[in-house]
Amino acid sequence: MRLLICGAWQGAGAHLDEIRAMGHEVAFLPQERDELPVEADWVEGVIGNGFFLFHPIETFRNLKYIQVISAGLDRVPVDEVQRRGITLKNARGVYSGPMAEHAVWAALTLYRRRAYYMNNQAEHIWSKLRVIPELAGKTVCVLGCGSVGTACAERFGGMGCRVIGVNRTPRRDPAFEKIFSFAETSDALGMADIVVVTLPLNDETRHLINEERLSQMKDSALLINIARGPLVDTDALLAALDVQLGGAALDVFETEPLPADSPLWEHPKLLLTPHNSFMGEHNAERLDAVIMRNLSDQEKNAFST
C-alpha cells in the first residue's frame, strides 16, 4: 500500500523501516495543511488527524485505508468513506484512561471546592468548609458507552459510585449497572448526580445537552464534558448554571480556542481546561501500538484476499 503519513503521528519516524518492511511505500507530509508531496492518485492510505479538512477526499481516487490518531471521527467525511468502502481506523483505547482520570478529577475538584481553598491559600486565609459532598454513593450517568465511557464507568465505580449509561445500542456490561437507550436519555439524566459526556459528535448528538435536557437534571447535578464542545449548548448551560446545576467541568468548547471574552471564563460554577483531558504520559506508545497493529492487520487482510 502507498501510504501518506502526516506529521500528526509524531512517532512515525521510529517505525518507517518496519512499515516499509511490511511492503508499504511511504511519503511524508509534515503539516497536514501543506501541499501534497505526491500526486493524489498515488495515495492509497493516509495516517493523520485533520488531513481531510484541508484536502478533499474526492481527490484521492485510489484511497482504501484511513488511520486517524484521534478517537473521534468528526474530522473525517464518514459518509463518503462508507460509500466508497474505505477502511477507517481510529485510536480507540489510546486516550481512554487519561480522559477517565480527568473526569474523576473534575468531579472531585468541584465537590471538594478546590477554587475556595486555592483562593484562601493565595490570601493566607484559614477557613474551613463544613459541608463537602462525597463522591461515593453518587449516581454517575455516562453518555456514550464506548472505550472512553467504559473507562469512566470503571473508575467512578471504583470510587464507590453507582454508574449508569446511555448508548445508541444498550448492552450488558459489568462496568455499568444499566445502559439505557437514547430514547431513555431523559430518565437517565433525572437519576444522575454527575453526568459525563463522552459521545461522538454527529448530527444526532449536536446540542444533545440543550435547555430541555439540562432542565431534566437535578439541581445539584454536575456536568462534565470531555468529548466535543458542540454536544453542549453553551448558552443553555450558562442559563442553567445561573438557576440550577451544581456546577460543570468543560474540557471542550463550541469554539476553540475559547475566546478571551467568553463568559465561561468568569462563571463561578465552571471548571475549564483547554481540551487537554486526553493527555497522558503513555499516549505515544499506545498510539504507536494501535497504528502498527492496524497496519499489520491490513497487510494480512490484503494478503488473504
Catalytic residue among 18, 256, 285, 293: 256
Judge whether 275 counts as a catalytic residue: yes
Q: Which of 13, 32, 2, 4 is nearest to 288 (CA)?
A: 13
- The C-alpha cell of 74 is what? 468528526
Q: Which of 15, 24, 228, 254 is catalytic?
A: 228
Residue 228 appears among annotated catalytic residues: yes
177, 275, 286, 299: the active-site residue = 275
Residue count of the chain, please give it: 305
The strand order across the sheet containing 178-180 reads 178-180, 162-166, 139-143, 194-197, 222-225, 247-250, 270-272
Which of the residues are catalytic? 228, 256, 275
